[in-house]
Structure 1
Amino acid sequence: MGGDSPYEIHQTAYIKLILHALKHRTTAVNAVLLGRSSASGSSVEIFDSVPLFHSQIGLLPPLEIALIMIEEYYGERGLNIVGYFHANERWNDSELGGVAKNIGDHITRYFPQAALLLLDNKKLHALPQGKDRSPVLQLYSRDASKNWKVAGLDGSNHLSLKEPSANIVLSDYISSEKWKDIIDFDDHLDDISKDWLNPDLFK
Protein backbone atom coordinates (compact mmCIF):
# COMPACT_ATOMS: atom_id res chain seq x y z
CA MET A 1 0.00 0.00 0.00
CA GLY A 2 1.70 3.14 -1.19
CA GLY A 3 1.58 6.59 0.24
CA ASP A 4 -0.79 7.69 -2.49
CA SER A 5 -3.54 5.26 -1.45
CA PRO A 6 -3.90 5.33 2.31
CA TYR A 7 -7.16 3.32 2.36
CA GLU A 8 -7.11 -0.25 1.07
CA ILE A 9 -10.13 -2.53 1.35
CA HIS A 10 -10.05 -6.32 1.23
CA GLN A 11 -12.38 -8.21 -1.10
CA THR A 12 -14.47 -9.78 1.68
CA ALA A 13 -15.20 -6.42 3.31
CA TYR A 14 -15.94 -4.79 -0.04
CA ILE A 15 -18.31 -7.44 -1.35
CA LYS A 16 -20.34 -7.57 1.86
CA LEU A 17 -21.00 -3.84 1.60
CA ILE A 18 -22.30 -4.08 -1.95
CA LEU A 19 -24.39 -7.22 -1.39
CA HIS A 20 -26.05 -5.56 1.59
CA ALA A 21 -27.02 -2.55 -0.52
CA LEU A 22 -28.33 -4.79 -3.31
CA LYS A 23 -30.51 -6.80 -0.93
CA HIS A 24 -32.26 -3.62 0.22
CA ARG A 25 -32.35 -1.58 -2.99
CA THR A 26 -35.30 0.62 -1.99
CA THR A 27 -34.00 1.68 1.41
CA ALA A 28 -30.88 3.31 2.78
CA VAL A 29 -28.41 0.87 4.35
CA ASN A 30 -25.25 1.25 6.37
CA ALA A 31 -22.28 -0.71 7.70
CA VAL A 32 -19.07 -0.28 9.64
CA LEU A 33 -15.55 -1.01 8.44
CA LEU A 34 -13.06 -3.00 10.50
CA GLY A 35 -9.32 -2.73 10.16
CA ARG A 36 -6.19 -1.11 11.50
CA SER A 37 -3.77 1.65 10.65
CA SER A 38 -0.18 1.00 9.63
CA ALA A 39 2.62 1.27 12.19
CA SER A 40 3.40 4.77 10.93
CA GLY A 41 -0.27 5.74 11.00
CA SER A 42 -0.08 6.94 7.41
CA SER A 43 -2.38 4.30 5.90
CA VAL A 44 -5.45 2.26 6.83
CA GLU A 45 -6.23 -1.31 5.81
CA ILE A 46 -9.88 -2.43 5.90
CA PHE A 47 -10.09 -6.17 6.51
CA ASP A 48 -13.79 -6.72 7.14
CA SER A 49 -17.18 -5.02 7.28
CA VAL A 50 -20.37 -5.56 9.25
CA PRO A 51 -23.74 -4.68 7.65
CA LEU A 52 -25.79 -2.72 10.17
CA PHE A 53 -29.32 -1.62 9.25
CA HIS A 54 -31.84 -1.28 6.43
CA SER A 55 -34.66 0.38 8.38
CA GLN A 56 -34.65 3.48 10.57
CA ILE A 57 -30.87 3.68 10.31
CA GLY A 58 -30.74 6.95 12.23
CA LEU A 59 -31.99 5.43 15.51
CA LEU A 60 -29.31 5.67 18.19
CA PRO A 61 -30.14 2.81 20.64
CA PRO A 62 -29.81 -0.09 18.15
CA LEU A 63 -26.71 1.54 16.66
CA GLU A 64 -25.07 1.75 20.08
CA ILE A 65 -25.89 -1.91 20.78
CA ALA A 66 -24.41 -2.94 17.44
CA LEU A 67 -21.22 -0.91 17.89
CA ILE A 68 -20.60 -2.35 21.37
CA MET A 69 -20.98 -5.93 20.11
CA ILE A 70 -18.84 -5.28 17.04
CA GLU A 71 -16.08 -3.55 19.00
CA GLU A 72 -15.99 -6.38 21.53
CA TYR A 73 -15.78 -9.14 18.92
CA TYR A 74 -13.25 -7.54 16.60
CA GLY A 75 -11.22 -5.90 19.37
CA GLU A 76 -10.27 -9.37 20.59
CA ARG A 77 -8.97 -10.04 17.07
CA GLY A 78 -6.85 -6.93 16.82
CA LEU A 79 -9.20 -4.92 14.61
CA ASN A 80 -10.98 -1.63 15.26
CA ILE A 81 -13.86 0.26 13.68
CA VAL A 82 -12.02 2.39 11.11
CA GLY A 83 -14.87 3.75 9.02
CA TYR A 84 -18.48 3.80 7.93
CA PHE A 85 -20.38 2.83 4.76
CA HIS A 86 -23.66 4.32 3.58
CA ALA A 87 -25.94 3.66 0.61
CA ASN A 88 -28.67 6.20 -0.06
CA GLU A 89 -32.33 5.27 -0.49
CA ARG A 90 -32.67 6.81 -3.96
CA TRP A 91 -30.61 5.41 -6.82
CA ASN A 92 -29.68 8.83 -8.21
CA ASP A 93 -28.85 10.39 -4.83
CA SER A 94 -25.08 10.87 -4.61
CA GLU A 95 -25.11 13.30 -1.69
CA LEU A 96 -23.70 12.50 1.73
CA GLY A 97 -26.59 12.96 4.18
CA GLY A 98 -26.73 14.06 7.79
CA VAL A 99 -27.05 10.55 9.26
CA ALA A 100 -23.90 9.39 7.48
CA LYS A 101 -21.96 12.47 8.56
CA ASN A 102 -23.09 12.15 12.17
CA ILE A 103 -22.09 8.50 12.44
CA GLY A 104 -18.82 9.28 10.68
CA ASP A 105 -18.18 12.06 13.20
CA HIS A 106 -18.84 9.62 16.04
CA ILE A 107 -16.30 7.12 14.67
CA THR A 108 -13.60 9.78 14.20
CA ARG A 109 -13.68 10.46 17.93
CA TYR A 110 -12.14 7.04 18.44
CA PHE A 111 -10.31 6.65 15.12
CA PRO A 112 -9.33 10.07 13.68
CA GLN A 113 -8.37 8.72 10.21
CA ALA A 114 -11.80 7.12 9.73
CA ALA A 115 -13.04 6.70 6.18
CA LEU A 116 -16.61 7.33 5.09
CA LEU A 117 -17.69 5.38 2.02
CA LEU A 118 -20.76 6.16 -0.09
CA LEU A 119 -22.09 3.71 -2.69
CA ASP A 120 -21.75 4.99 -6.26
CA ASN A 121 -24.82 3.48 -7.92
CA LYS A 122 -23.81 4.60 -11.41
CA LYS A 123 -20.49 2.77 -11.16
CA LEU A 124 -22.24 -0.27 -9.70
CA HIS A 125 -24.77 -0.29 -12.54
CA ALA A 126 -21.96 -0.09 -15.11
CA LEU A 127 -19.95 -2.89 -13.49
CA PRO A 128 -21.12 -5.76 -15.74
CA GLN A 129 -20.39 -3.75 -18.89
CA GLY A 130 -16.84 -2.69 -18.08
CA LYS A 131 -13.51 -3.80 -16.74
CA ASP A 132 -13.12 -1.10 -14.11
CA ARG A 133 -10.94 -2.31 -11.25
CA SER A 134 -11.70 0.63 -8.98
CA PRO A 135 -14.20 0.36 -6.12
CA VAL A 136 -17.85 1.28 -6.79
CA LEU A 137 -17.55 3.52 -3.74
CA GLN A 138 -16.87 7.20 -3.17
CA LEU A 139 -14.43 7.98 -0.37
CA TYR A 140 -14.95 10.92 1.96
CA SER A 141 -12.51 12.14 4.59
CA ARG A 142 -12.63 14.96 7.11
CA ASP A 143 -10.71 18.12 6.35
CA ALA A 144 -9.02 20.46 8.82
CA SER A 145 -12.37 22.16 9.46
CA LYS A 146 -13.92 18.76 10.34
CA ASN A 147 -16.14 18.80 7.25
CA TRP A 148 -16.57 15.65 5.17
CA LYS A 149 -15.17 16.14 1.66
CA VAL A 150 -14.80 13.90 -1.37
CA ALA A 151 -11.28 12.49 -1.15
CA GLY A 152 -8.79 11.76 -3.90
CA LEU A 153 -9.44 14.83 -6.04
CA ASP A 154 -5.88 15.98 -5.44
CA GLY A 155 -4.42 12.54 -6.08
CA SER A 156 -4.15 11.60 -2.41
CA ASN A 157 -6.36 9.87 0.14
CA HIS A 158 -7.95 7.48 -2.31
CA LEU A 159 -9.42 4.03 -1.82
CA SER A 160 -8.02 0.96 -3.55
CA LEU A 161 -9.02 -2.69 -3.67
CA LYS A 162 -6.61 -5.16 -2.06
CA GLU A 163 -7.43 -7.79 -4.69
CA PRO A 164 -7.49 -6.46 -8.29
CA SER A 165 -10.10 -9.08 -9.28
CA ALA A 166 -12.60 -8.03 -6.59
CA ASN A 167 -15.05 -6.50 -9.08
CA ILE A 168 -15.02 -9.67 -11.19
CA VAL A 169 -15.84 -11.74 -8.11
CA LEU A 170 -18.51 -9.21 -7.13
CA SER A 171 -20.11 -9.46 -10.58
CA ASP A 172 -20.27 -13.24 -10.25
CA TYR A 173 -21.96 -12.94 -6.85
CA ILE A 174 -24.45 -10.44 -8.23
CA SER A 175 -25.36 -12.67 -11.17
CA SER A 176 -25.91 -15.61 -8.80
CA GLU A 177 -28.04 -13.39 -6.50
CA LYS A 178 -25.70 -13.97 -3.57
CA TRP A 179 -27.06 -10.78 -2.02
CA LYS A 180 -30.09 -12.77 -0.84
CA ASP A 181 -27.88 -14.46 1.78
CA ILE A 182 -26.45 -11.38 3.49
CA ILE A 183 -27.51 -10.79 7.11
CA ASP A 184 -27.37 -7.43 8.86
CA PHE A 185 -27.92 -6.29 12.44
CA ASP A 186 -31.57 -5.53 11.71
CA ASP A 187 -32.04 -9.19 10.80
CA HIS A 188 -30.19 -10.29 13.94
CA LEU A 189 -32.27 -8.07 16.25
CA ASP A 190 -35.43 -9.54 14.70
CA ASP A 191 -34.15 -13.12 14.98
CA ILE A 192 -31.04 -13.71 17.10
CA SER A 193 -30.41 -17.04 15.35
CA LYS A 194 -29.31 -15.02 12.31
CA ASP A 195 -25.57 -14.39 12.59
CA TRP A 196 -24.49 -10.81 11.79
CA LEU A 197 -20.95 -12.08 11.18
CA ASN A 198 -22.14 -13.86 8.01
CA PRO A 199 -19.77 -16.82 8.54
CA ASP A 200 -21.26 -18.89 5.72
CA LEU A 201 -21.61 -16.15 3.12
CA PHE A 202 -18.54 -17.04 1.07
CA LYS A 203 -18.60 -20.81 1.55
Structure 2
Amino acid sequence: MGGEVKFQLGQNPYIKLVLHALKHRVSSVNGILIGRLDDASSTVDIVDAVPLSHSQIGLLPTLEIALIQVEELFSADGLSVVGYFHANERYDDSELGKIAKKIGDHISRYFPQPAVLLLDNKKLEALCKSIHREPVVQLYTKDASKGWRQAGIDASVQLTLKEPSANTVLSDFIATEKYEEIVDFDDYLDDISKDWLNPRLFK
Protein backbone atom coordinates (compact mmCIF):
# COMPACT_ATOMS: atom_id res chain seq x y z
CA MET A 1 0.00 0.00 0.00
CA GLY A 2 1.46 3.31 -1.02
CA GLY A 3 0.47 6.90 -0.23
CA GLU A 4 -2.37 7.62 2.16
CA VAL A 5 -3.65 4.57 4.04
CA LYS A 6 -7.12 4.52 5.58
CA PHE A 7 -8.31 2.12 8.26
CA GLN A 8 -12.08 1.97 8.63
CA LEU A 9 -13.25 0.36 11.87
CA GLY A 10 -16.72 -1.16 11.88
CA GLN A 11 -19.09 -0.75 14.81
CA ASN A 12 -19.21 -4.42 15.85
CA PRO A 13 -15.44 -5.05 16.03
CA TYR A 14 -14.99 -1.70 17.78
CA ILE A 15 -17.57 -2.53 20.45
CA LYS A 16 -16.31 -6.08 20.82
CA LEU A 17 -12.71 -5.10 21.55
CA VAL A 18 -13.76 -2.49 24.14
CA LEU A 19 -16.12 -4.92 25.88
CA HIS A 20 -13.35 -7.52 26.01
CA ALA A 21 -11.15 -5.04 27.86
CA LEU A 22 -13.97 -4.09 30.23
CA LYS A 23 -14.65 -7.71 31.16
CA HIS A 24 -11.02 -8.11 32.28
CA ARG A 25 -10.28 -4.72 33.80
CA VAL A 26 -7.38 -5.90 35.97
CA SER A 27 -5.42 -7.64 33.22
CA SER A 28 -4.11 -6.96 29.76
CA VAL A 29 -6.24 -8.26 26.90
CA ASN A 30 -5.65 -8.71 23.21
CA GLY A 31 -7.26 -9.97 20.04
CA ILE A 32 -7.18 -10.21 16.28
CA LEU A 33 -8.69 -7.80 13.76
CA ILE A 34 -10.37 -9.25 10.66
CA GLY A 35 -11.05 -7.41 7.42
CA ARG A 36 -10.17 -6.81 3.80
CA LEU A 37 -8.11 -4.38 1.76
CA ASP A 38 -9.66 -2.28 -0.98
CA ASP A 39 -6.68 -1.67 -3.26
CA ALA A 40 -8.48 0.99 -5.28
CA SER A 41 -8.96 3.30 -2.28
CA SER A 42 -6.07 2.01 -0.12
CA THR A 43 -8.64 1.39 2.61
CA VAL A 44 -8.46 -1.45 5.11
CA ASP A 45 -12.01 -2.27 6.19
CA ILE A 46 -11.99 -3.87 9.68
CA VAL A 47 -15.19 -5.89 9.91
CA ASP A 48 -14.67 -8.13 12.94
CA ALA A 49 -12.57 -8.56 16.08
CA VAL A 50 -11.76 -11.91 17.67
CA PRO A 51 -10.96 -11.69 21.41
CA LEU A 52 -7.85 -13.73 22.06
CA SER A 53 -6.45 -13.60 25.56
CA HIS A 54 -6.67 -12.18 29.06
CA SER A 55 -4.06 -14.41 30.70
CA GLN A 56 -1.73 -15.82 28.04
CA ILE A 57 -0.62 -12.47 26.62
CA GLY A 58 2.54 -12.75 24.55
CA LEU A 59 2.58 -16.53 24.08
CA LEU A 60 3.31 -16.89 20.37
CA PRO A 61 2.37 -20.60 20.12
CA THR A 62 -1.13 -19.80 21.42
CA LEU A 63 -1.32 -16.80 19.09
CA GLU A 64 -0.23 -18.89 16.10
CA ILE A 65 -2.90 -21.53 16.79
CA ALA A 66 -5.54 -18.81 16.98
CA LEU A 67 -4.30 -17.10 13.81
CA ILE A 68 -4.40 -20.35 11.82
CA GLN A 69 -7.95 -21.06 13.00
CA VAL A 70 -9.10 -17.51 12.24
CA GLU A 71 -7.62 -17.62 8.73
CA GLU A 72 -9.45 -20.89 8.05
CA LEU A 73 -12.74 -19.60 9.44
CA PHE A 74 -12.83 -16.28 7.58
CA SER A 75 -10.98 -16.94 4.32
CA ALA A 76 -14.09 -18.36 2.62
CA ASP A 77 -15.70 -14.92 2.98
CA GLY A 78 -12.71 -13.18 1.43
CA LEU A 79 -11.54 -11.91 4.82
CA SER A 80 -8.16 -12.18 6.50
CA VAL A 81 -6.19 -11.05 9.53
CA VAL A 82 -5.47 -7.30 9.12
CA GLY A 83 -4.36 -6.32 12.60
CA TYR A 84 -4.32 -6.67 16.34
CA PHE A 85 -5.87 -4.97 19.36
CA HIS A 86 -4.43 -4.56 22.82
CA ALA A 87 -5.44 -3.08 26.17
CA ASN A 88 -2.82 -2.52 28.85
CA GLU A 89 -3.18 -3.84 32.38
CA ARG A 90 -2.61 -0.49 34.07
CA TYR A 91 -5.19 2.22 33.61
CA ASP A 92 -2.55 4.95 33.28
CA ASP A 93 -0.43 3.02 30.76
CA SER A 94 -1.00 4.56 27.34
CA GLU A 95 2.13 3.19 25.66
CA LEU A 96 2.30 0.43 23.08
CA GLY A 97 4.53 -2.03 24.93
CA LYS A 98 7.12 -4.56 23.77
CA ILE A 99 4.71 -7.51 23.77
CA ALA A 100 2.12 -5.66 21.66
CA LYS A 101 4.84 -4.59 19.19
CA LYS A 102 6.18 -8.15 19.04
CA ILE A 103 2.73 -9.51 18.23
CA GLY A 104 2.19 -6.75 15.68
CA ASP A 105 5.46 -7.79 14.03
CA HIS A 106 4.24 -11.39 13.97
CA ILE A 107 0.92 -10.43 12.38
CA SER A 108 2.74 -8.50 9.65
CA ARG A 109 3.61 -11.94 8.24
CA TYR A 110 -0.09 -12.32 7.47
CA PHE A 111 -0.76 -8.73 6.40
CA PRO A 112 2.08 -6.42 5.32
CA GLN A 113 0.83 -3.26 7.04
CA PRO A 114 -1.36 -4.32 9.97
CA ALA A 115 -3.32 -1.99 12.19
CA VAL A 116 -2.55 -2.19 15.90
CA LEU A 117 -5.28 -0.62 18.04
CA LEU A 118 -4.47 0.31 21.64
CA LEU A 119 -7.35 1.07 24.01
CA ASP A 120 -7.19 4.59 25.46
CA ASN A 121 -8.63 4.32 28.98
CA LYS A 122 -8.95 8.08 29.43
CA LYS A 123 -11.03 8.43 26.27
CA LEU A 124 -13.15 5.49 27.40
CA GLU A 125 -13.74 7.09 30.78
CA ALA A 126 -14.70 10.36 29.08
CA LEU A 127 -17.16 8.46 26.89
CA CYS A 128 -18.89 7.04 29.96
CA LYS A 129 -19.52 10.62 31.10
CA SER A 130 -20.40 12.24 27.80
CA ILE A 131 -20.98 10.76 24.33
CA HIS A 132 -18.47 11.84 21.70
CA ARG A 133 -17.62 10.58 18.21
CA GLU A 134 -13.88 10.07 18.68
CA PRO A 135 -12.80 6.41 18.85
CA VAL A 136 -11.50 5.29 22.25
CA VAL A 137 -8.61 3.48 20.60
CA GLN A 138 -5.31 4.75 19.23
CA LEU A 139 -4.06 3.44 15.88
CA TYR A 140 -0.45 2.37 15.47
CA THR A 141 1.17 1.36 12.19
CA LYS A 142 4.69 0.24 11.43
CA ASP A 143 7.11 2.45 9.56
CA ALA A 144 9.97 0.61 7.86
CA SER A 145 12.58 2.95 9.32
CA LYS A 146 10.99 4.21 12.56
CA GLY A 147 9.10 1.17 13.85
CA TRP A 148 5.62 1.36 15.40
CA ARG A 149 4.18 4.88 15.40
CA GLN A 150 0.90 6.50 16.41
CA ALA A 151 -1.28 7.39 13.45
CA GLY A 152 -1.58 10.99 14.69
CA ILE A 153 2.13 11.46 14.11
CA ASP A 154 1.86 10.32 10.51
CA ALA A 155 -0.79 12.33 8.65
CA SER A 156 -0.77 9.82 5.78
CA VAL A 157 -2.47 7.20 7.99
CA GLN A 158 -6.05 7.63 9.21
CA LEU A 159 -8.50 5.73 11.42
CA THR A 160 -12.22 6.37 11.21
CA LEU A 161 -15.27 4.73 12.74
CA LYS A 162 -17.52 3.41 9.97
CA GLU A 163 -20.72 4.19 11.86
CA PRO A 164 -20.91 7.68 13.44
CA SER A 165 -23.24 6.37 16.17
CA ALA A 166 -20.81 3.66 17.32
CA ASN A 167 -20.02 5.35 20.63
CA THR A 168 -23.71 5.76 21.45
CA VAL A 169 -24.27 2.04 20.94
CA LEU A 170 -21.09 1.25 22.90
CA SER A 171 -22.29 3.40 25.80
CA ASP A 172 -25.58 1.48 25.89
CA PHE A 173 -23.71 -1.85 25.90
CA ILE A 174 -21.54 -0.68 28.78
CA ALA A 175 -24.57 0.49 30.77
CA THR A 176 -26.23 -2.92 30.39
CA GLU A 177 -22.96 -4.75 31.26
CA LYS A 178 -22.95 -6.56 27.94
CA TYR A 179 -19.22 -7.16 28.42
CA GLU A 180 -20.03 -10.06 30.76
CA GLU A 181 -21.04 -12.09 27.68
CA ILE A 182 -17.69 -11.80 25.87
CA VAL A 183 -15.82 -15.06 25.30
CA ASP A 184 -12.14 -15.12 24.24
CA PHE A 185 -9.75 -17.82 23.03
CA ASP A 186 -8.50 -18.40 26.61
CA ASP A 187 -12.08 -19.17 27.67
CA TYR A 188 -12.47 -21.54 24.71
CA LEU A 189 -9.28 -23.42 25.63
CA ASP A 190 -10.69 -23.89 29.14
CA ASP A 191 -14.11 -24.96 27.88
CA ILE A 192 -14.51 -25.82 24.18
CA SER A 193 -18.29 -25.40 24.41
CA LYS A 194 -17.73 -21.63 24.55
CA ASP A 195 -17.71 -19.86 21.17
CA TRP A 196 -14.85 -17.34 20.97
CA LEU A 197 -16.31 -15.83 17.78
CA ASN A 198 -19.19 -14.47 19.91
CA PRO A 199 -21.87 -14.91 17.21
CA ARG A 200 -24.76 -14.01 19.53
CA LEU A 201 -23.25 -10.89 21.10
CA PHE A 202 -25.20 -8.51 18.88
CA LYS A 203 -28.40 -10.51 18.64
TM bucket, shorter chain:
over 0.9
> For this pair of structures, how many residues does the alignment match?
201
1:43-192 superposed matches below 5 A: 43-145=43-145, 147-192=147-192
For 1:122-177, what per-residue CA distance to the aligned partner results, in whole angstroms no more than 9, with x for missing partners? 00000022232121000101113150011123433121100000000000000000
Aligned amino acid, residue 202 of structure 2: F
The more displaced of 71-80 and 58-67 is 58-67
Aligned amino acid, residue 164 of structure 1: P
Give me the identity figure in percent.
64
Counterpart contact for 2:4–2:42, Cα < 8 Å: no
Q: Tell me the equivalent position of 2:22.
A: 22
The 1:34–1:108 alpha-carbon spacing in structure 2 relative to 1, beyond 3 Å, is same
Q: Distance in 2 between matches of 1:94 and 1:165?
A: 25
- RMSD of equivalent CA atoms: 1.5
3-state SS of 2:105 partner: helix
3-state SS of 1:193 partner: coil
CA positional deviation for 1:65:
1.2
3-state SS of 1:158 partner: strand
Aligned amino acid, residue 95 of structure 1: E
Q: Distance in 1 between matches of 2:75 and 2:8?
A: 20
Q: Distance in 2 between matches of 1:24 and 1:111?
A: 28
Q: Distance in 2 between matches of 1:41 and 1:26?
A: 39
Normalised TM-score (structure 2): 0.95
The more displaced of 123-132 and 174-183 is 123-132
Q: Distance in 2 between matches of 1:64 and 1:186?
A: 13
3-state SS of 2:202 partner: coil
Counterpart contact for 1:117–1:140, Cα < 8 Å: yes
Counterpart contact for 2:38–2:44, Cα < 8 Å: yes
Aligned amino acid, residue 147 of structure 1: G
CA positional deviation for 1:60:
2.0
Q: Tell me the equivalent position of 2:199.
A: 199
Counterpart contact for 1:35–1:48, Cα < 8 Å: yes
Gaps of 5+ in 2: none
Counterpart contact for 2:56–2:186, Cα < 8 Å: no
Q: Distance in 1 between matches of 2:41 and 2:114?
A: 12
CA positional deviation for 1:178:
0.1
3-state SS of 2:26 partner: coil
